[in-house]
Chains A and B, each alone.
Chain A
Amino acid sequence: MRKGLHEDLAAVVIGLAAVLLALAVTWQARPAEEPGSRALHPKGWATPLAKTVGKPGTWSDQPLAAFQDGSGEWKLQPILLGMGWVGLVGGLGVVLGGRGLGAYLPGAAVLVMLACLAYLLAGQKTVKYYNLSYPLWALMVGLLVSNAAGVPRWLAPAVLGEFFIKTGLVVFGAEVLVGRLLALGLPGLMTSWIVTPIVLVTTYLLGVRLLRIPSKSLCMTLAADMSVCGVSAAIATAGACRAKKEELSLAIGLSLFFTVIMMVAMPPVISALGLDPLVGGAWLGGTIDATGAVVAAGETLGKEAGEVAATVKMIQNSMIGLIAFAVAAYWAGWVDREAAGPRGSLLGEIWQRFPRFILGFLAASLVCSWLHTRGPEQALWVEGATGGFTKPLRGWLFCTGFVCMGLQTNFRQLAPVLASGRPVVLYVLGQSLNLALTLAMASLTFGWLFRKAVE
Chain B
Amino acid sequence: MRQSGSPARDVLRLAAGLAIVAIVWGGLLPRLLDWGPVARHIELMEARGVDPSAIYYTELERLPLRPAWVEDRLVLWP
Contacts and interface: CB of A to CB of B under 8 A. Distances in A.
Contacts of B23: none
B33 A146 contact: no
Interface string A198-230: 000000000000000000000000000000011
Nearest to A182: B77
Contacts of A186: 75-78
A231 B52 CA distance: 13
A392 B78 CA distance: 39
Nearest to A130: B52
Nearest to B72: A452
A296 B60 contact: no
A60 B13 contact: no
A299 B60 contact: no
A133 B55 contact: yes
Contacts of A410: 2
Contact of A144 (B21, B25, B57, B74): B21
Contact of A306 (B41, B48, B73, B78): B48
Interface in A129-151: 129-135, 144-151
A131 B54 CA distance: 8
A152 B55 CA distance: 31
A134 B53 CA distance: 8
Nearest to A231: B55
Interface string B37-78: 010011011001011111111111001111101101111111
Given A184-B76, A186-B76, A186-B78, A292 B52 contact: yes
Contact of A311 (B33, B51, B64, B72): B64
A232 B76 CA distance: 28
B29 A127 contact: yes
B64 A314 contact: yes
Nearest to A147: B2
Interface residues of B, number: 50
Nearest to B68: A307
Interface in A230-275: 230-232, 263
A300 to B, nearest CB: 7
A408 interface: yes
Contacts, number: 188
B46 to A, nearest CB: 8
A70 interface: no
B31 to A, nearest CB: 9
Given A145-B14, A263-B52, A63 B26 contact: yes
Contact of B58 (A126, A175, A306): A175
B33 A61 contact: yes
A273 to B, nearest CB: 19
**B48, B58, B78 — which one has the most chain A CB atoms within 10 A of its CB?**
B58
Interface stretch (A23-31, A94-102, A117-125, A344-352): A117-125
Nearest to A451: B74
Contacts of A263: 52
A65 B13 CA distance: 28
A151 B76 contact: no
B52 A128 contact: yes
Contacts of A451: 73-75
B10 A149 contact: yes
A141 B58 CA distance: 26
A182 to B, nearest CB: 8
A407 B52 contact: no
A292 B38 contact: no
B36 interface: no
A7 B60 CA distance: 32
A386 to B, nearest CB: 6
Given A127-B29, A299-B50, A291 B42 contact: no
Contacts of A61: 26, 30, 33
A387 B73 CA distance: 31
A129 B52 contact: yes
B1 A408 contact: yes
A292 B64 contact: no
A150 B3 contact: yes
Contact of B3 (A60, A125, A153): A153
Given A124-B29, A183-B65, A186-B77, A291 B3 contact: no
A359 to B, nearest CB: 20
A157 B66 CA distance: 47
Given A184-B66, A292-B59, A314-B64, A128 B38 contact: no
Nearest to A140: B21
B55 A230 contact: yes
18 contacts: A61-B26, A121-B21, A124-B29, A131-B53, A144-B18, A144-B21, A146-B2, A148-B16, A148-B17, A151-B1, A151-B4, A186-B76, A230-B55, A295-B52, A296-B52, A308-B67, A387-B58, A451-B75
Given A159-B1, A291-B60, A450-B78, 9 more contacts: A60-B33, A121-B21, A129-B41, A129-B52, A145-B14, A187-B76, A292-B60, A295-B50, A455-B73
